[in-house]
Structure 1
Amino acid sequence: MSETQPDPHRLPAVYLAPGPYAGGTAWPAGPPPGWHPGRYPRGPQWGDAAWGSSPWGGPAAWGGPVWGGAAWGPPARTRWDVPPPPGTPYDQMARTVLNRWWRPIVGTLAIVATFVVISIGAGLVAYLVSLVTRVPMTGSGPRLFADPMLDLGFQLGVIALLLPLVLGAAWVFQRRPPGSLSSVALRLRWRWLAACLLVAVVSVVLGQAAEAGMLLSAGVGPGYGWAGWGAFLPALIVILLLVPFQAAAEEYAYRGWIIQGLGAYFRSPWPAILLGAVAFAASHGYTGWGIVYVFVFGVLMGWLAVRTGGLEAPIALHASNNVVAFGLVAASGDMNGALEQGAVPWQALIGSAVQFAVFGFGVLIIARKWAIQTLSR
């Protein structure tokens, strides 16, 4: 009986089936015995269908230790930005393998210097806008334009430019994903942001009601008024379009950048939370009790950012509070005082306390119920 001859167009099954080599515990270090291109031409078993199912079938195997050669093709591209390791809290997100002591400092200087240049450029743009629109400029106080609507929109837009500056600094100078400023999930968690917005609206309304009640009991009018839809709607459109970006920009700067920047040096988040609150209060023009209000607001926002692992809760309350505040001014028709800051009556702090308590407890309860992520993965 003649011995069965192997099919010259098929590789032995032992070299095609995935798994350990039938004669041992590892694949052979070289090609099949007696293999050469003429005997085993490219075909269904040696070609596309077999690639990845045998030790010599795919590029990974040809460039790996089984084939014994260097990897085929160009080397893998190294990422510019490196995410933080798993298990990192929000205030420590700048502690990547690429972190160096100078990166937060240089990034901060770059943000400040660039924003100063932008502010100077904004003044020149405002002058050109004044010439084109023939709207006079004013040099009194913080206002740029005599038209309060144009002035509000212009200044809110300039503040909103902080947002790309901070995100860009995280990527360029700290070499980490810009989304690490948003949350430990490396992105803005929109569903969580929507939930925080609902809590923020309720807390702001209750806080305004408590403040109005305290002012009325003291014989002081809350200053509410109604100028009509013709005056209210244009202002409301400007407010709704720009205030969310202005509020988000301030949160990314004072809570995101400062908290995570100092988190590269301190294990505790409190030095960064307090410094961010001080910087936030210093950037506003409030006096007296107003300074207390802004400082406490900054502390609460920083604490919630760390506790919830992101900026969604601070952005929600900040945007809701500003929309309502500007909206009440627009409803009264006195847009000239929209950006004015100064003394705040102590009765207003009662309304702020109600707002902060409702929002803080509400956010923490929902965060625990939803098991909101507070550490990187």
Structure 2
Amino acid sequence: MARPPDARERTTERAQGPSARLKLTLSYAGFLMVAGVLLLAVVWVFLLRYVPDPPDTVRNPRGGLLLGERPRLPPGPDRQDLVDAFAPKAAAMLAFLLLFGLVGGWILAGRMLAPLTRIGDATRLAASGSLSHRIRLPGRNDEFRELSDAFDTMLARLEAHVAEQQRFAANASHELRTPLAVTQTLLDVARKDPDRDNGELVDRLHAVNTRAIDLTEALLLLSRADQRSFAREHVDLSLIAEEATETLLPLAEQRGVTIETSGDVTPTVGSYSLLLQLCTNLVHNAIVHNTADGGAVWVTTGAQPDGVVLTVENTGEPLTSQMASTLAEPFLRGSGRLRSEHAGVGLGLAIVERITEAHDGTLTLTPRTGGGLRVVVWLPAAPPTAGG
């Protein structure tokens, strides 16, 4: 049995109607005809003012002129003569205006709709998968030029987004394949050597499985942030940062890293769990990517007229501006900044960036003078409540 068309297919099945160029042509010609008729009507009324009606004659019953009557001159042209002379020329003029309106309207409509033709061609190319095509409509700035530029901007963003998603999918597949391959290797070794102590094998399998779970959860969290499928509520970013710092304080003490927190009340609107994940990732990143002989982490929050700011700084290895700007890319690990016993999954700052974008904020990564990283997260401030 043939598959019935779905709702989307049914909406596209429409009867073929007249083209926009034909509609514009008929509109131009119709307007020109109306203007011609009005002009001829004005001319007709103007001419009638100077053509008198045929006078009524009063004759003497006995013949001759009445007393006081002046002799009449030979009669001039009357209204019937004007109609006979004006009507054929007016009809010819209207026929010429109709022909001129149709031809001229067709040409003008074609020139006016030419940009839409280019935009339509670019749309069909984009629908077929070619996102690299650009319209680049020439000429001065008008409605069509603005539409063309907006479409080019949309295509550029779509192309960048698709490229990023493809790169992300390839990296994620590689990262997920690594623990699976390690697990398969360990199981093959255990099967070939059944007398081997399984204690070490279990520990390694546990570590590999934990890494795979962490990576999967990070990918799910990243997808949730991209889709913006979360409820928004009023939260205080400073309290969230303090909670994340207290949670990671044992890890900082274990590594000999000191954490200093300070700041003001920073009300914003967003997901409490996602913003807590954001703060946790930043503080964890600052602790792990620190100097080998201990270091420091500074967590500060502040309020601005139009937003709130979270700043996380840490000591560490010197970084260049180019390296700092690329650390938020998925699965990108800074060389020499990660220890082998806590390699992570390479999505910490990528998740921070996506959560920030999902909350309409901005993320800035800059190297600190003397080594380390400075991360600044700006989020829109919460609107004042009715009671405030």
Same fold (TM over 0.5): no
Shorter-normalised TM-score: what interval? under 0.3
The structure with the largest strand share of the pair is 2
* TM-score normalised to structure 1 length: 0.24
Greater gyration radius: 2
Higher RCO structure, 1 or 2 (CA under 8 Å, sep 6+)? 1
